[in-house]
Chain A
Amino acid sequence: MTQETSEVLTKDHQRSVSRRKLLRNAGAVVAITAAGAVTRPRIIEGQDATPDALAPAMRSARRQIAAVDAAAAPDLPPLEVIVFNRMAFGPRPGDLDAFRRLGADDQSRLQSYVNQQLNPAAIDDSACDNILARQGFTTLNKSLTQLWTEHAVADGISWEDRQRPYRETEKATFLRAVYSKRQLNEVLADFWHNHFNVYGDDRWASPVWVHYDRDVIRGNMLGNFRTMLGMVAKSPAMLYYLDNESNTSAGPNENFAREIFELHTMGAENYLGVVSDRSQVPVDDEGRPIGYIDKDVYQATECFTGWRVNDETGQFYFDEAEHSRYEKLVLGVSIDDFLGEQDGEIVMDLLANHPGTAHYIAGKLCRRLISDSPPESIVQAAADVFYAQRNAPDQLKQVVRTILLSDEFRQTWGEKVKRPLEYAVSVLRASNADFEPNDRFRWSYSGMAQNLFRWHPPDGYPDVKEAWTGTMSILQRWRHCNYLIDWKYEDGPMKDQLRLPIETQMPASKRTPNEIVDFWSQFVLGRALPPAERQPVLDFIAQGRNPNFELTDEMIQERLRYMVALIFMSPSFLWR
């Protein structure tokens, strides 16, 4: 140490509870001050309303660059467009018409569609099932123990066999997203996989991925949250991913305990930080702490000690010898000594039944289904249902129904952007593609940086536009579109079959640039392009000709698919 070496830690270096409390209590004030301070120098964005004299001193010429108007939002499209872009992976040809036939008005159509989607077993999905059946998958029907014995611990198992359950689930997920009529199921499966994120392409996760996807996530996503939480906690995929399988009384590992609080249940919004004196934590009307502190995490860590995976079967088992036996205190509740496996169950009961969890999960679902910043009105309404129905076997179905039938759902548009998965799948759906999730597709898709089940940190892929509107991110979506629209997707016999089928989708009667653009706008977007987007598309296909005059077959043939690509790359196609 070359400087100030002799100084030792003084009192003010040690955190005390009063500081944290002060910060929490002053949270609103701090926030306002900070926000005020940082938005004051108005430099590039045009969204600050107050005129200010400071600007000229700044780099004024540069503020013209990509000015953002926060108020500039696209018009609300027809309800069916909202429905298929937010509770589905975009419409397939015919979907929007089918929706319109569901009832006399928007309200009854939505009601009817949501009811259908929330009862997926009643939807005939045989076309998708047949497509899946043709893939020759071998692992998707295996039990956990079969998966474990045949893919995880079998002697001399190859890496390919170890990965097979994961790879087949990945392919099946793409295929279902593109072809399944149970679209809400697919959206929710993606949501819950990210909520209970596990990195799938890993030594212990890959072999059991079918179990994690089929039984743990999909098996519960319209059911009860507490049940799902328990299955997640006891699944080999999660036990290994967050290291709980090595959490022992002699050497606690806090990884899982921390994330079950922060990411799986109460969320960071209910984290009060490092507080050493429990009596400082405020309680609600029922005497419950309003949030959790690090001590809760450490005590919960003790509760989850000895949770193991049976080496021979892959099933959960409880190892009494590694369990911390003595009394624990979690969220103000004393958990008696010698309760064994029950300790962890009690912690999960406390978490699943905490109002903070209801609010956090409801908020995340609203963020997925409505807006990056959902109105508190609908978040609270959904949280109330989550909490009131916490013991119901269809708790999550009721929460999702509340969100989808809300005014907020119907009246919100353009506050989210299609992420790569939604983008890639919606292109394939809109163009009625003959889709094959082969290696070339995966290669191009992976450039967009949202590979399925391959997010390393435990928080899941971000679900806000800021994460997906960087230049590389936008460019990669355009590149992927270019890739699909041309014929690089496959060489050999499948080459033409896997090229997006554009020319064959359009009736021969569409001959003029105006007709062609309007047909494709409706076909792909379910609505007309706004004028500022329509004109460049029209100019592209017309190439200087009168847009009311017919184009020759040759002209249509050579440029149509590149015109359609433009629609796939337009702002209108990216909004959600």
Chain B
Amino acid sequence: MFKVTRRGFMVGCSTAIATMAGGLTYTAFGSANDEPNHDILVVVFLRGGMDGLSVVMPIDGQDRGYYEANRERLAVPASGDNAALRLNSLFGLHPGAAPLFDLYQDKKLAIIHAAGLTSDTRSHFDAMQYIELGTPDSKSSAKGWLTRHLETMGGLPNEVIVPVMATGGGQPTSLQGSREAISLTSPDDFSFSGNWRWRDMQRQALRQMYSGDSSWLHAAGQQTLDAVDVIEYANPGDYTPENGADYPNNGFGRGLQTVAQIIKMQLGLRVATVDFGGWDTHQSQGEGGTGYFSSHLSDLARGLNALMTDLSNSNGTDHTKRLTVVVQSEFGRSFRENASRGTDHGHGNVMFVLGGAVNGGSVMGNWPGLGPDQLYDRRDLAITTDYRRVLSEIMIRRFGNPNLGIVFPGYSDYQPLGIVRGGDIPPNYSDEPVDATPIPDPGGTIPGGTTPTPTPTVTPPENMDKRIYLPQVNR
């Protein structure tokens, strides 16, 4: 088995590639031994404050009455045309989210309601920062929660080449301070481009220029050059989703597709983020479960379903077994609709967790009710499940990372809701990290889980000998 280390890959010499040329297959590039067992967390952030009460709403009982009274025009019907899809005796799902309903019925989607950030803020920007830094009511952390999770989760051997990525042009606050995260819109676009005759020499020169110091800018430049080498070497080519997966044709759909592509490339991905904006629906949300919100939600549902479908069978490998996707937004919206047929900034919201190890098919959490006295500040859905409770469970059960004291400082209320399967280990609330157990019990706690055999599907580019930075091969 070839072992290619990331650092070696970056600084290796061209003689190494001579050894590799011809015989190297794609799986040697990542970490064929370990990778298929490792879990992948994809965090989807819905920017703008998604109206969770339009996604999962009461369909019966007293709360249905409150809902219809407060959502005179926006309410999704409980029966008849365009009716909510029945989740259980109390709740229905917006009909625009039908592709999620399929996952729910397959028990791959869990819904957590009345969840969110408990800080007393209705500011988008405060709320997003608090959530993504993992430090409610404080913005002083230099690192995002995912950065700290990656730093303490263990199980990241050197040969892992792309442990973390952000899709889209930027890097979200949850990955703030990570020097390993690469951001990319699509692997196909992630090339240096430039004049064919000079670009390799330019890249060589840039690497020297950006190695000359250790400032943040030099680090960012090196990181960029590393990422270009990695992606180019992996030779993504044109990507065709598998199993009939149908991604929406927008930035969100492309982001998810990029995640699927990188997962299949087996570069050791552990964490990815995907952003989806356009949820700040102060006006014209769409009435009776139709209109803008419905089609936007439909893109969300289609995209998530496509990701699961695409990864469910890639040359016999079911990547969804090690995939957990979390969907969250900075806050929910006001219970009462406003005069513009929209909703204003609110509080509690719905969260989704989907993936192969999810105890799906149920709505979880404590429902606080929608009566006037049950509302937060007498106007919004209350929060009964701290968003950190959901994320902590995934950290511990799927990643074996007990270091809650570092990832969510000040949070000491670990109580798994049973959203995902996996082993429970005692949480570590201190700021002294303890070793993580990368996989609590690989294979065993994932029902039906077997170690999939990675299938080499991609061969290195033919012009490998023209490259400047080549992997160093250790046998």
Q: Is this pair of chains taken from one and the same complex?
A: yes
B205→A537 contact, CB < 8 A: yes
With a cutoff of 8 Å between Cβ atoms, the chain B residues found around residue A471 in the complex are: 181-184, 220, 223-224, 227-228
Known: A13-B383, A45-B177, A479-B192. A472 touches B183 (CB 8 A): yes
> B286 contacts the other chain (Cβ, under 8 Å)?
no
A and B contact pairs by CB, cutoff 8 A, 7 listed: A34-B140, A44-B178, A57-B433, A262-B125, A274-B120, A566-B205, A571-B215
- The digit string for B78-119, where 1 denotes a CB below 8 A from any CB of A, is 000000000010110000000000000000000001000011
> B332 contacts the other chain (Cβ, under 8 Å)?
no
With a cutoff of 8 Å between Cβ atoms, the chain B residues found around residue A535 in the complex are: 208
Shortest beta-carbon distance from A241 to chain B in Å: 10
Pick out which of these stretches binds chain B: A15-23, A216-224, A397-405: A15-23
A472→B184 contact, CB < 8 A: yes
**Residues 16-60 (chain A) with a chain B CB within 8 angstroms:** 19-20, 23, 27, 30-41, 43-46, 54, 57-59
B residues with CB within 8 A of A: 5-7, 47-48, 88, 90-91, 113, 118-126, 135, 137-138, 140-143, 148, 151-152, 154, 156, 158, 166, 168-171, 176-185, 189-190, 192-195, 198-199, 201-202, 204-206, 208-224, 226-228, 277-278, 280, 282-283, 338-340, 342, 344-345, 362-369, 374, 376-377, 382-384, 405-406, 409-410, 417-418, 431-433, 435
> A254 contacts the other chain (Cβ, under 8 Å)?
yes
A residues with CB within 8 A of B: 1-5, 7-9, 13-15, 19-20, 23, 27, 30-41, 43-46, 54, 57-59, 61-62, 64-70, 72-74, 242-243, 246-248, 250-255, 258, 262, 268, 271, 273-276, 294, 297, 414, 417, 447-449, 456-457, 459, 465-476, 478-479, 482-483, 486, 530-533, 535-537, 539-540, 559, 562, 565-566, 569-571, 574-575
A470→B169 contact, CB < 8 A: yes
With a cutoff of 8 Å between Cβ atoms, the chain A residues found around residue B91 in the complex are: 1
Complex CA gap A464/B288 in Å reads 42
A-B contact count (CB 8 A): 332
B410→A34 contact, CB < 8 A: yes
Query: Which of B138, B152, B204 is A41 in contact with, Cβ under 8 Å?
Result: B152
A539→B190 contact, CB < 8 A: no
* Residue in A14, A34, A540 whose Cβ sees the most chain B Cβ within 10 Å: A34
A258→B405 contact, CB < 8 A: no
* Residue in A478, A482, A539, A559 whose Cβ sees the most chain B Cβ within 10 Å: A478
Complex CA gap A275/B120 in Å reads 8
Shortest beta-carbon distance from B68 to chain A in Å: 17
With a cutoff of 8 Å between Cβ atoms, the chain B residues found around residue A32 in the complex are: 140
With a cutoff of 8 Å between Cβ atoms, the chain B residues found around residue A33 in the complex are: 409-410
Q: Which residue of A lies closest to B215 (CB)?
A: A72
With a cutoff of 8 Å between Cβ atoms, the chain A residues found around residue B113 in the complex are: 1
Complex CA gap A66/B315 in Å reads 35
B368→A9 contact, CB < 8 A: yes
A62→B406 contact, CB < 8 A: no
Known: A37-B405, A59-B156, A530-B212. A456 touches B170 (CB 8 A): no
With a cutoff of 8 Å between Cβ atoms, the chain B residues found around residue A467 in the complex are: 170-171
Known: A8-B368, A9-B382, A73-B215. A38 touches B433 (CB 8 A): no
A64→B7 contact, CB < 8 A: yes
B121→A37 contact, CB < 8 A: no
Q: Which residue of B lies closest to A450 (CB)?
A: B169
Complex CA gap A67/B369 in Å reads 50
With a cutoff of 8 Å between Cβ atoms, the chain B residues found around residue A72 in the complex are: 213-215, 218
A486→B212 contact, CB < 8 A: no
Query: Which of B179, B199, B432 is A45 in contact with, Cβ under 8 Å?
Result: B179
Query: Which of A38, A57, A246, A532 is B406 in contact with, Cβ under 8 Å?
Result: A38
B47→A457 contact, CB < 8 A: yes
Q: Which residue of B lies closest to A272 (CB)?
A: B120
Shortest beta-carbon distance from A455 to chain B in Å: 11
* Residue in B142, B176, B338 whose Cβ sees the most chain A Cβ within 10 Å: B338
* Residue in B178, B277, B365, B369 whose Cβ sees the most chain A Cβ within 10 Å: B365
Shortest beta-carbon distance from B223 to chain A in Å: 5
* Residue in A15, A448, A537 whose Cβ sees the most chain B Cβ within 10 Å: A15
A44→B151 contact, CB < 8 A: yes
Complex CA gap A447/B191 in Å reads 13
- Given contact pairs A536-B206, A536-B208, enumerate 14 new A-B contacts (beta carbons under 8 Å): A15-B376, A19-B120, A27-B137, A30-B138, A41-B152, A74-B215, A243-B282, A247-B340, A268-B125, A414-B217, A448-B169, A470-B182, A537-B205, A540-B205
A540→B213 contact, CB < 8 A: no
With a cutoff of 8 Å between Cβ atoms, the chain B residues found around residue A276 in the complex are: 377
With a cutoff of 8 Å between Cβ atoms, the chain B residues found around residue A4 in the complex are: 365-366
A532→B368 contact, CB < 8 A: no
B209→A536 contact, CB < 8 A: yes
